[in-house]
Amino acid sequence: MDFGPHLFLALLEGTVSAFVLAVTALGLSLVFGVMRVVNVAHGEFYMLGAVLAWWLTTLLAGSPMIGFGVALIVAPLIVGAVAFAADWLILRRIDYQPEATIVATIGMLYIIQQLVLTFYGPDARPVEPPFYFRVSFPWFGYSGYKLIVVGASALLLLGVWLAMARTKFGLYMRATQQNQEMAQAFGVPVRRVYAMVFALGAMLAAAAGVLVVPIQQAHYLMGLDPLLLSFIVVIVGGLGSLRGTVVAAFIIGLSDGVISVFFSPTLAKIIATLFVAMVLVYRPSGLFGQPEEEQ
């Protein structure tokens, strides 16, 4: 294919992956930013969203659109409940100590993965997109649903931003993120905020999983890559900055696509990976992060 269309295609692909990445990473950004804990099970919430979407759409096999719509609402709610329980049962008990949280979330990862393997099985299963149409450009065809994903992700991002900026809960979250002790002194119910944030983070991951599953398939091991990518996006964007997360998602999503135009796939991935690393080496607090004030 000629260079121009090739680049255009790469940019399209990059945009789609950037948006999906932004939504997936958003949940982690909130958890990381507000609670300062590393949730290794974040990818598993994403996977649960996808698997539950498969289950719900199979249950409501009549119309793909209704089934998918229900999945988009119900799956995140279920996953949110699971996360809320996990926080209440486990994370709270270990007082959110960083290293203990890592081990605990690894344990959660194993449990969720095994439960899904047992009840859902090892196969990758597809989910019908609610609409399926092909957009014909002069040089290539493209999935219409992918473009829908871009729109839906943008809406989700906007929704979260509005919630953070305009609602009381958003205020609590931002206060806790900036200075937990001060927030507590001002009467913010920090423990409850933590639980809600953890649940919200999981719900966003699950929503991303539901949106993505018609493009990929639901598979019990699909959570690992989104986990890694989300981490990268959150850190490069800067801890505690939603704007940073979104910008970083774009830089990473687009650069991956564009670099792959020029190099062989694996080499492109190597270059993209090292590029991200060097960004962090020269800007350790990320693009928009504040240098850490606390000890």
Residue 65 in contact with another protein, rule: CB under 8 A: no
- Interaction between residue 147 and another protein (CB under 8 A): no
Binding of another protein at residue 60 (CB under 8 A)? no
By CB under 8 A, how many residues form the interface with another protein?
A: 91
Interface mask (CB under 8 A) for another protein, residues 183-222, using x and -?
-------x------------------------xxx-xxxx
Q: How many CB atoms lie within 10 A of CB 132?
A: 11
Which of 16, 200 has the CB closer to another protein?
16
> 175: which DSSP letter?
H
Residue from 66, 77, 163, 277 touching another protein (CB under 8 A): that is 277
Residue 140 vs 162, nearer CB to another protein: 140
- Smallest distance from another protein to CB 264, Å: 7
Query: What are the angstrom distances between the C-alpha of 18 and each of 71, 129, 184, 186, 261?
Result: 23, 20, 36, 37, 17
The rounded distance, in Å, linking the Cα atoms of 106 and 98 is 12
Q: Closest separation between CB of residue 48 and another protein, Å? A: 14
115 binding another protein? (CB under 8 A)? yes
Residue 99 or 158: the one with the smaller Cβ distance to another protein is 99
Interaction between residue 104 and another protein (CB under 8 A): yes
Closer Cβ to another protein, 76 or 286, answer by number: 286
State the nearest-atom distance from the C-beta of 126 to another protein, in Å: 5
154 conformational bin, left if phi > 0, alpha if psi -120 to 50, beta if neither: alpha
Give, in degrees to the nearest 5, the angle at Cα 218 between 136 and 207. Answer: 80
Contact 16, 146 (CB under 8 A): yes
Question: How many angstroms separate the CA atoms of 98 and 241, rounded?
Answer: 20
What's CA 9's distance to the chain center, in Å? 24
Among positions 242-271, residues that touch another protein (CB under 8 A) are 257, 260-261, 264-267, 269-270
Least distance (Å) between residue 166 CB and another protein: 26
Work out whether 77 is an interface residue with another protein (CB under 8 A): no
Characterize the bridge pairing of strands 141-143 and 134-136.
Answer: antiparallel
Q: Identify the DSSP state of 218.
A: B
Tokens of 291: 């240098």
CB atoms within 10 A of CB 177: 21
**Residue among 19, 54, 55, 231 that touches another protein (CB under 8 A):** 231
Give the residue with the Cβ less far from another protein, 73 or 148. Answer: 148
- Under the binding rule (CB under 8 A), the answer on residue 286 touching another protein is yes
Taking residue 92's Cβ as centre, other Cβ atoms within 10 Å add up to 14
